[in-house]
Amino acid sequence: MAQLVGRSAELARLDALMAGLDRPGAPAVVDIAGEPGIGKSRLLSEVCARARRAGLTVLRGRATEYEQHLPFQAFADALADVDPGIMAADPALPELDLALHGIRQAPGEASGSGAAARLGLHRAITAFFTRLGERGLVLAIDDLHWADPASLELVDHLIRHPARGRVLLAVARRVRQTPTSLTAVLARGIDSGDVLDLALGPLPEDESIRAWAPDIPPYQAQQLYAASEGNPLYLLALLHAYRSGAPLRAILALSDTTDAVGVPNGLAALLLEELSTLTAPQHRAAEAVAVLGDHATPAMVTEAIGLSGKKVEEVGEQIRALVARDVLRTGPGGRWAFRHPLVRALLYENIERGRRAELHHRAAQELSRRGAPATERAHHVERSMTGWDGEAAATLEEAAAQWAATAPATAAHLLYVVLSHLPDTPHHVRRRGELVLARAQALGVSGNLRESRDLLHHLIETSGKDHPDLRTAAIAQCAVMERHLGHSPEATALLLRELSHQPGPSPGQAVSLRLALGMSALLTASYPEARSDVAEAVSIAGSDDNPTGEAAALALAALGEAYEGETQAAVRFADAASRLVDALTDPGLTDLCEALGWLAWAEALLERYADAERHFTRGLAVARRGGRLHVLPHLLTSKAFVHLTTCRLPSALEAAEEAETLARAAGSPDLLGFTLAIKTLVLLLGRPFGDDSALATAEEAVGVTSASKGWWASLAWCMLGHAAFVSGDPHRAQEAIIAAGGGRELPLLQPSIRPGQLDTLTGAALTAGDVDQAGRWAAQATREADRLGLDGQRAGALRAQASLAEHRGDNDKAVRLLEAAAEEYVRCGQSLWEAYTLLRAAPLVQRKGQDTRAAAMWHRAHRIAVSGGARLLVDLAELTRPQVMSDAPALPAELAELTAREVEVAGLLAEGLSNQDIAARLHLSRRTVETHLSSVYRKLSVPSRSALTRLITRVGLGVGS
């Protein structure tokens, strides 16, 4: 390898990074950015060489301009370097099968788990890289600016969720040709410290001349360097021209305009000059390699040129001649590749158009003869289409269908190619409409919401009376796009107009339209206005014997009523929806995934966490198998919320981050704001004191929903309020929540979340010294919670009242309220908030002199927080642990499952108190004491009072007072 000139500072940083790959906080990604020819690829090669010398595994791939619609092409190229023996030697790599099948073949072709949507594929690839990282891995991707959308999504995933272990992703890209989305992803990574920024500038003049032009007079060398602007590729080309006899004046006068691949025209001529001396057969072989790309094997080159199989040896001679000239080099798997992608790009662009299409056509035919899937043939079929070809169009449509789930941007592109060649005749009107509908769906899933919406608008206006079903389907889909773009009023108007048409839509379409209307109303906090439409959808689906439509309508009704605080109605609808959903098979649920998300969220709001988990788990599995990626964020946020509330913070954060990744890919500001709002709450409880990631996430959530006034925007403001309060800014907390609610009484917030916001407002007002306002908010929290009739909501209101009592110095009342709140949390299963409430109560209980009782509270809360990964509560526990508690023994293991109140009741029983005496001592009803004792007997598997007394005596629990 030639000497690397002028990059000593960059190499020092890279060497230090590779030496500490397993160091906590080390960047997992290196971004090598610069202009064409500046030395990005050369530096990347040096990184790979040094990694190999250090004993690391190196996988290197390259994106190419002419395969931008081949999903995962850049990573497929890298994985071509994987030793085939790795899998055989290590049977612990089952995920490699999924990764290699998903990338090299057709993502979405297989069935079962192998056809999981693109996020499942991302996780499988990350798991594979993690496995290789046990030995150390450098994954190098060159020319990332040309990468296909699926590869860019995977890079985004690897930045946000890096492979564990000694794994480094090194990418090289051109700054000006980098897609905006990728620039933003890398910029965020640089800001967070997850990406090392290596921006390459011009090489130093002295070093460049000393290394490459020692034989040229200094003045001329300086002129050539100035003409190159310190770009090594340009400098070497200019030096080559000078040494070949070109006059210096002519060289310095080369045009500085740029052609299609970013190379100055004069330099392009210099790079292609050596190809002008090739013989005609050699030139044909080089053209075939340029067209074939990854398919450039000797046999495929022969077929593309149009020679029979007997001519393989003749073609081989031409290839060997090109290798001898260093035009071609040997690549993985016996393939041929140009020595530099610029050479390939320039040659490809200079192939006569008809000749180029012919080469692609022959490649497609040969791949078809070999039985290659449509996804592998699609690139060549697309490039060879010069007019309408029904067979070619069928291939592209088949490939688009297979890529719709895992590479929707590619699917949309292929459908565009078909549409651009489809004859504009009455005979093809129906097919055109169906293709436009499919393309719009693929665009929407891939995040091109506006383009999808515009296509659907056109289809709605052109479908006419002859194809009302197409128009109605387009309207239902367009309403979803409008909703995601923050245009719920427009979606509502569109839906209402369609529902008013006579004759009306079919029953199935009427259900879809009314459900879309209900969801739009839900997001704009106007569900009562659409309540009758959702009820009508329930009725129509039931009469039409449409169980999936009926289940969806019932699920939406449950969610709408739960949001509005109509608990009894929500329970009734949720029960009915659950019965229908549970009776359906998984295939029957494929079109019901979004409704499963509605049902899971309704059940979460109704504090039915086991039911919610059952339904979102099933929904996630069905959605991934069926490629319904647009519903995954809703299901994942439901999972994150339930796992947060039941104190499973690591899995809650994993779900929240996956939902965020999907929302960013979808390009929906409102959806992103919603996922970030849920992630804020998870980060708030899952990160230690002093960590500002929750506040930063909340601020981004508010920022991305700034143009919206819907439900998700309000939620973002509420989460900003919670994060601000925990970070010590009570005034900002009040301002944010009041802004979300439209006033101090929060009239614009759904009743289902008011008690929780009022609890935070109460604490913020007390911290700010506004006791009167805190009292008003605490009283409102009680009224709101009583209306809802849910245990967790009542507990939130009790906590607000306890804060007020503690501030007024009435610790006895505060303790009673906090204990009652903890009991409510136990009943509904909100273990996270039970732990938080016990940590607030324990210091107050100790002030009353009840050290053992306080210790029992503290230890239970600490155990819940530690086992659930609630770092904030763990830190709070350490801050609230008085010295006497640190010396107190932990709760015996036999009693670990008991709540603090149950421990207290059991201890008093062991002292010989009757149920009535215990009730009097603890200010409880006798019935409540009996309920606690029944729970104690069940948890400890003891049959009687005497057996319980013996156990309590044996473990040495005393209550004290």
At 822 the pLDDT is: 94
DSSP output for 631-645: GHHHHHHHHHHHHHH
| 531-571 per-position pLDDT tens digit | 999 999 999 988 888 888 899 999 999 999 999 999 999 99
The whole-angstrom separation of Cα 46 and Cα 2 is 10
Q: What token pair was written down for 132?
A: 């290789």
Residue 772 contacts by C-beta under 8 Å, 6 or more apart in sequence?
none
pLDDT-derived band at 306, boundaries 50, 70, 90:
confident
Residue 195 contacts by C-beta under 8 Å, 6 or more apart in sequence?
27, 28, 29, 30, 31, 159, 186, 189
CA 786 to chain centre: 38
Q: Is the peptide bond prior to 503 cis by the omega test (within 30 degrees of 0)?
A: yes
Residue 561 contacts by C-beta under 8 Å, 6 or more apart in sequence?
567, 569, 570, 573, 602
Residue 52 contacts by C-beta under 8 Å, 6 or more apart in sequence?
58
CA 429 to chain centre: 37
**Which single residue is written with the structure tokens 């998870």?**
682
At 207 the pLDDT is: 87
Interval 365-393 mean pLDDT = 91
At 917 the pLDDT is: 81
Closest to 574 (Cα-Cα) out of 592, 601, 536, 541: 601
Please report, as a single letter, which amino acid is at residue 826. Answer: V
Interval 17-30 mean pLDDT = 85
| 758-771 per-position pLDDT tens digit | 999 999 999 999 99
Q: What token pair was written down for 697?
A: 């996430």
At residue 116, does pLDDT exceed 80?
Answer: no
Question: Do 523 and 488 meet the contact criterion of CB atoms below 8 Å apart?
Answer: yes
Neighbours of 493 (CB within 10 A): 14
Instruction: Report the half-sphere exposure of 793 (CA within 13 A, side-chain side).
Output: 23
| 235-266 per-position pLDDT tens digit | 887 787 777 776 777 666 654 444 455 555 66
Q: Which residues pair with 29 in a beta bridge?
A: 169, 195
At 266 the pLDDT is: 60
| 508-538 per-position pLDDT tens digit | 788 888 888 888 888 877 889 889 999 999 9
At 788 the pLDDT is: 95
Residue 764 contacts by C-beta under 8 Å, 6 or more apart in sequence?
721, 725, 730, 731, 733, 734, 737
Q: Which residues pair with 59 in a beta bridge?
A: 139
pTM for the structure as a whole: 0.65
Residue 201 φ/ψ, nearest 5 degrees:
-105, -175
Q: Which of 23-37, 615-629, 886-900 has the lowest mean pLDDT?
A: 886-900
Return the H-helix or E-strand segment holding 171. strand 167-174
At 882 the pLDDT is: 61
The whole-angstrom separation of Cα 787 and Cα 225 is 79
Question: Do 621 and 113 meet the contact criterion of CB atoms below 8 Å apart?
Answer: no
| 426-477 per-position pLDDT tens digit | 889 899 999 999 999 888 877 677 889 999 999 988 876 778 888 888 988 8
Question: Do 5 and 203 meet the contact criterion of CB atoms below 8 Å apart?
Answer: yes
Question: Do 759 and 800 meet the contact criterion of CB atoms below 8 Å apart?
Answer: yes
